[in-house]
Structure 1
Amino acid sequence: MKRFTTGLLLVLFLNNVLGSPVRDSLLAALDKAIAASPAYDQQKLKTITGLENALHDGITLGERYDIYLQLFNEYKSFTYDSAYAYARKLTTVAYAMKDPARITYARIKLGFTLVSSGLFKETFDSLHTLDARGAPDSIRAEFYSLMGRYYYDLGDFDNDSYYTGAYNQMGSLYMDSALQLYQTNSFDFSYFRGLQALKGGRIDEASASFKRIIGRQGLAPHQVALVASTLADIYIRKGETDSAIDLLIRAAIADIQSSTKETSAILNLAEQLFKKGDVRNASIYIERAMKEAVFYGARQRKIQAGAILPIIEDEKIAAVEGQRKVLIEYASVVTFLLLVVVALAIIIFLQVRKLRVAQRALSEAHARTQEINHQLLEANKIKEEYIGYFFNVNSDYFTKVEKFKKAIEQKLSDRKFEDIRFLAGNINLKKEKEDLLQHFDKVFLKLFPHFVEDFNALFKPEDRIHLKEGELLNTDLRIFALIRMGISDNEKIAKILEYSVNTIYTYKTRIRNRSLVPNETFEEKVMQIKAL
């Protein structure tokens, strides 16, 4: 971890100087961390199991309180349900102990869990009645900073020009109270002071503060992720996207190493990579962000990821469609050239057979007249011409085929079409189209696993669509799957599914006429089908 923090600024400098090689190494490190994430999670679960095993009937209330607090701290950024459950247990034990300080502290932990899950109303209901004035300074500081975070997060979630400013002002008032209680050399004091400057629009002050923090030795992975993610937000506001991406990668790695599921780093990273045109990595990381949000139960993160995910997947589908069209064009050229070769082979075979017949006739007619000799010379000339023609044509053809093959390999090498040579000789356009549609079906149903059931709910039982064995979607469902993905133009749908515009219109009209809802609201109902 020490090497991570001390080398961060150097990595950012090298990335500005050297460019993409450093970025590639950072992304490779992130991919490696994602692959190792089950091991990090397993270690956390091992720690949790050890704590849970320490709970038994013979321990005192004070010991039970301490264990519940440790379990809460393990779960607070890992799983909402468990964190909430232990926060409630912590509160129950605190009341049983009749200890005001512990009661206040337990309720603060409960509020932390609620705000982390995006339950803003519940957070307010839980905290606004809490009076921390008589609590120790450390507890009061945590209460005021939590209230500050609550208003900051609420402002970010609303993202409104009027209310966000008001919420940020309220949050900064609470942060003022918290900063008076934290030790000035502590991480919390430095971080919240920088956050207060950021929310107050003092960008340069906030940037300098977070740069000082991230240069410290001995930061925990979660602290590194928190500072790097916040500093990345400042770089995004300044338009320094490359530096922001590098910091977000670092933050995402640190989140994985600390098994932090309540995180926005990898979500923001996916969004920035998508804006830079890196659709492949953006798709991987947005799916990871959605998975983390679902695992933790962070509602606001799921909403944010759900807003970006269809856009990225739509871009992926468009890219696949473009690749398919290019492949079909190349396949058509290859097929044409193969047909030319077959035609030439037939012609040459027929001519060679004729020449052989002529040779046999010449061997039996040594005594023929000058006219026959002339015919023989003419036949030999024909033979020479055809053989020369054959070799010239075949030489040119094989040269073209070789160039064409190299061009295909060069163009498709990055797309991993390892079987291109096999495809060149065994073109099956129908199979390619089926594979493309099958791929679309899988991606779509991954986003909308209940689409078929929800779609059929719009029809009477006898009018519902029944898929054949092995089918994921059929044409009827694909049309409205594309509409659900945001592609509503008939011409675009027709191009994607390779039908005429009139055919698509006919399909849509027929389906709408069978539905239980009015025709004019049918597509609106389809758009209301929920994603995962």
Structure 2
Amino acid sequence: MTKTISAILLFLFCIQLPYASEKDKTNLSLLKELDRTIAQKPFFQQQREQEADSIKSLLKATSSLESKYELYGTLFGIYLHFQADSALHYLERREALTDSLRNPSYKNDLRIARAEVLGIMGLYNEVPEQLEQIQRESLSEGSLLYYYYTSRTFYGWIADYTRTNDRHKYIAQTNAYRDSILAVTPNGIDHNIVLADQLIVNGNPDEAIRLMNDELTKAQGTESAIYILYNLSQAYAQKGDTEKQIYNLSQTAISDLKAAKREYISLQKLALLMFEKGDIERAYKYLSCSMEDAVACNARLRSVEVTEFFPIVDKVYKLKIQKEKQITRTLLISISLMAVLLLITIVYLYRQMKKLSFMRKKVSAANEQLQEINQELSQASKIKEEYIALYLNQCVIYLDKLDTYRRSLAKLAMASKLDDLFKTIKSEQFIRDERKNFYNEFDKSFLRLFPRFIESFNGLMTEEGKLYPKSGEILSTELRIFALIRLGINDSSNIAHFLGYSLATVYSYRSKVRSKALNKEEFEQQVAVL
């Protein structure tokens, strides 16, 4: 019976497992929005085509070579991450105009653009050839920055997908070009985006997150926001915070799709996270969308990235569909029995857990009381032993001193030195000296028992109310009063008798010290347990 119930519980747990990670309402809401955006993808792509068509209409209407050169550049930008073949076509149209325009800077810019689009298309053997032809010393500030971005992106891709010993070389080149970008980019959002990427690579995700969160509010509604969100996802991935990684990747993917981009990485990474979290359906949907877009864009790198694990997801997805059909049939037959058994199990476990919790509380309370009692008994025993020893020792000392004092008086009487005898009898010096010695012994014994008493006592006082013994003292009068309270002598008349003070004096000392305590109402109770 127990084994059957356990098997049923495990079965139900496995069914619910894929959905357990979606408890975060914000992430679930974003994932649903992403699902809707994927469904609307044809609409956003149609908008991109319409934008390109409007530029093509302007091309037909202009005869200016310079205007055509600029419009071809606009079309290159529209198609770059949308349809790489078309982007390359319009780049070649621009190149055809360079001889007529006779602007030397155009050739370098076109080589950089060609390297960029060839990289997207996965033609990596041709990219270095383009980059090596560029004369960096003749580049304008904007073109130089474009060159650094293209080189950093290219070597970053090569480093990610190289499995040979050359990988470290490509990583070093990627880092070098990132440093160059930072060196020439003025302070602002673009500079901080690259800086955050550097911080993540160098293992400082917390600083990258702080920097990107500061910039995100400024970049809302701009293309820069996409890069900021992607940086945040990478930083949280490094920290192992999957939920926040999903949150930022979801927003990045939504922005990519709404911008009608077909060459992207965010949706693929999100698909892998969904697969790891057990949401096979979304993983399959996101990978299918990524593959479709990569093929349409002719972005070979992205196609390779998807095909690396798409067969695994596809196989698991199909198995999941089959299992869901089997489970549905099984559940339709056995759901009633499982519900009854589950209810019985829950009631039984609840009662047992309630009993166990009650017993644990009782045992815990008893243990705490026992520990407190043992501690108090141990301390009381130690105090008793210390002060019994002190009491016996003082009795012996006083007997010896009284005998010595008696002999000195007897000598004075036998010598008929009556004046000296009466003078000695009337003198209080003997009593003062003995009282002083007694207090010294008391102070020493007390501090042996409670070595941290002065420090703990001052911890209860305000700064100006803290008490310390003067030079030559062990305990001051005020400290000695509260030492007696710590020993359980709380009555002012007993304290006054012990110290040889008037009752009013003891009241005055206690009131004065209490007025400078942090907690005046409970001060003496706190002292009693120091």
Secondary structure (helix, strand or coil) at the match of 2:54 reads helix
> Is residue 178 of structure 2 the alignment partner of residue 175 of structure 1?
yes
- Residues 94 and 106 in structure 1, CA contact (< 8 A), matched pair in contact too: no
Deviation at 1:87, TM superposition (A): 1.6
Correspondence 1:56 to 2:60: yes
Match of 1:198 in 2: 200
**93 and 19 in structure 1: CA distance in 2 versus 1, 3 angstrom threshold:** same
Tell me the equivalent position of 1:211.
213
> 2:37 aligned with 1:40, yes or no?
no
What's the counterpart of residue 231 of structure 2? 230
Following superposition of structure 1 onto structure 2, how do residues 396-411 of structure 1 map, counting pairs within 5 Å? 403=336
Query: How far off its partner does 1:51 sit?
Result: 0.6
Shift of 1:29: 0.8
Do the aligned partners of residues 36 and 58 (structure 1) sit closer, same or farther apart at CA in structure 2, a change above 3 Å counting? closer
In the alignment, the residues of structure 2 paired with residue 108 and residue 63 of structure 1 have an alpha-carbon distance, to the nearest angstrom, of 21
1:31 and 2:32 correspond: no
**In the alignment, is the contact (CA less than 8 A) between 1:78 and 1:261 conserved in 2?**
yes
- What is the match of residue 322 of structure 2? 321
Question: Which residue number corresponds to residue 247 of structure 1?
Answer: 248
Q: Which amino acid aligns with 1:290?
A: M
**Contact 1:191 1:210 (C-alpha < 8 Å) held by counterparts:** yes
The match for 2:69 is 65
Residue 295 (structure 1) shift: 1.3
Deviation at 1:192, TM superposition (A): 2.0
Q: 1:98-113 to 2 correspondence within 5 Å?
A: 98-113=102-117
1:78: Cα distance to partner? 0.9
Structure 2 residue identity aligned to 1:179: L
CA distance in 1, matches of 2:124, 2:22: 44
Distance in structure 1 (CA, Å) of the matches to 2:145 and 2:330: 67
C-alpha deviation, 1:138, in angstroms: 1.0
1:150 to 154, 162, 165: 154
In 1, Cα distance between the equivalents of 2:289 and 2:235?
23
Offset, 1:276: 0.5
Query: What's the CA shift for 1:18?
Result: 10
Seen in structure 2, the aligned counterparts of structure 1 residues 120 and 31 have a Cα distance that, compared at 3 Å, is same
String of CA shifts for 1:196-216, please: whole Å, max 9, x gaps.
Answer: 333344444433333333232
Relative to the length of structure 2, the TM-score reads: 0.56
* Structure 1 Cα separation of the partners of residues 23 and 171 of structure 2: 37
Question: 1:326 and 1:258 mapped to 2: Cα distance?
Answer: 40
Q: Structure 1: which amino acid aligns with 2:78?
A: E
- What residue ranges of structure 2 are gaps of 5+ in the alignment? 1-20, 341-530
CA distance in 1, matches of 2:197, 2:98: 32
CA distance in 1, matches of 2:87, 2:129: 18
CA shift for structure 1 position 219: 4.3
Instruction: Note closer, same or farther for the CA distance 1:169–1:200 as it changes in structure 2 (3 Å cut).
Output: farther
For 2:134 and 2:263, how far apart are their aligned partners in 1?
A: 25
Superposed CA deviations along residues 388-414 of structure 1, whole A, max 9, x for unmatched, are: xxxxxxxxxxxxxx947999xxxxxxx
Matched letter for residue 183 of structure 1? P
Cα 1:231–1:164 change in 2 (3 A) is farther
**In structure 2, do the counterparts of structure 1 residues 203 and 57 end up closer, same or farther at CA, with 3 Å as the change threshold?**
same
**Is 1:166 the counterpart of 2:169 in the alignment?**
yes
Does structure 2 conserve the Cα–Cα contact (< 8 Å) formed by 1:91 and 1:107?
A: no
**Offset of residue 258 of structure 1:** 0.7
Evaluate the alpha carbon distance shift between residue 112 and residue 188 of structure 1 in structure 2; reply closer, same or farther with a 3 A threshold: farther
Q: Measure the CA separation in 2 of the matches of 1:102 and 1:246.
A: 41
Determine whether 1:286 maps to 2:287: yes
Greater shift, 319-328 or 79-88, is seen at 319-328
Unaligned runs of 5+ in 1: 1-16, 335-401, 408-532
Q: How many residue pairs align between the two structures?
A: 320
Residues 144 and 174 in structure 1, CA contact (< 8 A), matched pair in contact too = yes
Question: Which residue of 1 is the match for residue 267 of structure 2?
Answer: 266
Instruction: Quote how far apart the aligned CAs of 1:235 are.
Output: 1.5
Cα shift at 1:250:
0.4
- Partners of 1:77 and 1:169 lie apart in 2 by 27
Distance in 2, matches of 1:87 and 1:282, equals 36
Query: Contact (CA 8 Å) 1:41, 1:259: kept in 2 or not?
Result: yes
Displacement of 1:314: 1.5
Q: 1:33 to 1:51 in 2, by over 3 A?
A: same
Question: Which residue does 1:87 correspond to in 2?
Answer: 91
Counterpart of 2:120 in structure 1 is: 116
| Superimposed CA distance per residue, residues 438-488 of structure 1 (whole angstroms, 9 cap, x where no aligned partner) | xxxxxxxxxxxxxxxxxxxxxxxxxxxxxxxxxxxxxxxxxxxxxxxxxxx
Cα distance in 2 between the residues matched to 1:170 and 1:405: 61
What per-residue deviation string (whole Å, max 9, x for no partner) do you get for residues 316-349 of structure 1? Answer: 2222333344456568x69xxxxxxxxxxxxxxx
